[in-house]
Structure 1
Amino acid sequence: MINLDDTDRNILRALADDATLSAGEIGRRLGLSQSASWRRIKRLQDSDVLSGQRLDLDLQKLGFGVTVFLGIKLATKGRVSLDDFERAVIAIPEVQTVQHVLGLYDYRLRVVARDISDFERILRRRVMTLPGVGNVEANVLLSEERLIGPIG
């Protein structure tokens, strides 16, 4: 774990709001020189606190009006390897995230679709044909707020 001071936390908050900010802009906002800001950002990157940048797409504007979370329970854990299931599920372009979880289901998927009939097609032709799929539960997303998470 890396020790973070208030300036480091403020840098992380600024980048969480807009990952495209330059070191100079962050420095101006926080009262730091560009080089001091750059050194701190570099230290956060080198320690893997910062790892890459994220692109937020407006799925509605791209024509994907439905987001569904699927809980998937594998039917034959012994006969189908988790690697086989994971390789097959990540090949489905509409699947945004694959989470291996502990609990009622083995996997949690975030799936986007153009509309409900498109989701039904994805479910029937792609998800239900994955190796080892047993029970599937679908939850349609109604609304979502973005939380940046705790920054110490």
Structure 2
Amino acid sequence: MQIDDTDRRLLRQLIANPMVTTADLASRAGVTEATCWRRLDRLRARGILRGQQAVIDWRALGFQVEVSLRVTLDKTNPRAFDEFIAAARLVPEVLEIQTFLGRVDLRLNIIARDMAHYQDIYRDRILTLPHITDLEALMHLSDIKSDESLPI
């Protein structure tokens, strides 16, 4: 989908400050408020701008442990992916579920208050998920780059 320079200016300003008011966004992008509204609506309708969301610092809320679990499923069962994903969605500490092509089928991103809490989640909720044939845990240490912006 093609976007023009005005769309790019609007998107760059939104990336820089997602909480900006429409009036300020229009001013910063060099367009009228009405043009800004129309452009944002068009970007949403085209699926380019999917919405705005809160970015929560889980550590500030007491979740000190983050683990990425690489999951391999039993591929002999045709319902394995659907059943696993449906069950994993019910685990509140699972923040993200991604599927892959290759040796690893899925990745779960999990948060916990501390290691004892993680062990409880792992034993009581993760190991009971269906169709798992292999798990590999990667303990999150730090974020080096966490940026969803692209050069537009």
- Is 1:112 paired with 2:111? yes
Q: Give the equivalent residue in structure 2 for 1:100.
A: 99
The corresponding residue for 1:84 is 83
Worse-matched range after superposition: 109-118 or 4-13: 4-13
User: Number of residue pairs matched?
Assistant: 151
What are the superposed Cα offsets for residues 36-75 of structure 1, whole Å, 9 maximum, x if unpaired? 1111111101111111211100111111111111100113
CA–CA separation in structure 1 for the residues paired with 2:78 and 2:39: 49
TM-superposition CA deviations, 1:86-145 (whole Å, max 9, x none): 110000000001111112211111101111221111111111110111211111111223
Higher mean Cα deviation, 73-82 or 87-96?
73-82
Name 1:66's counterpart in structure 2: 65
Distance, in Å, in 2 between the alignment partners of 1:124 and 1:64 is 18
TM-score, with normalisation over the residues of structure 1?
0.90
Q: Which moved more, 1:125-134 or 1:9-18?
A: 9-18
Aligned pair in 2 of structure 1 residues 109, 6: CA closer, same or farther (>3 Å)?
same
- TM-score (normalised: structure 2): 0.90
Take 1:148 and 1:17, find their aligned partners in 2: how far apart are those partners? 11
Taking the aligned partners of 2:131 and 2:125, their CA distance within structure 1 comes to 13
SS at match of 1:69: strand
Q: Show structure 2 runs of 5+ residues with no match.
A: none
SS of corresponding position for 2:60:
coil
* Other structure's SS at 1:8 match: helix
What is the rounded CA distance, in whole Å, between the counterparts of 1:41 and 1:10 in structure 2?
11
Unaligned runs of 5+ in 1: none
Aligned twin of 2:148: 148
SS of structure 1 residue aligned to 2:12:
helix
Kindly provide the amino acid, as one letter, of the partner of residue 94 in structure 2. V
Structure 1 residue ranges (4+ consecutive) displaced by more than 4 angstroms after TM superposition: none
| 1:27-38 paired onto structure 2 within 5 Å | 27-38=26-37
CA contact 1:23–1:38 (8 Å) conserved in 2: yes
Distance 1:133 1:81 in 2: 9
Q: Give the direction of change, closer, same or farther, for the CA distance of 1:17–1:67 in structure 2 (3 Å limit).
A: farther
Q: Distance in 2 between matches of 1:57 and 1:77?
A: 38
* Structure 2 letter corresponding to 1:146: S
Query: Map of 1:24-63 to 2, 5 A cutoff?
Result: 24-63=23-62
Q: 1:150, 1:17 → 2: CA distance?
A: 11
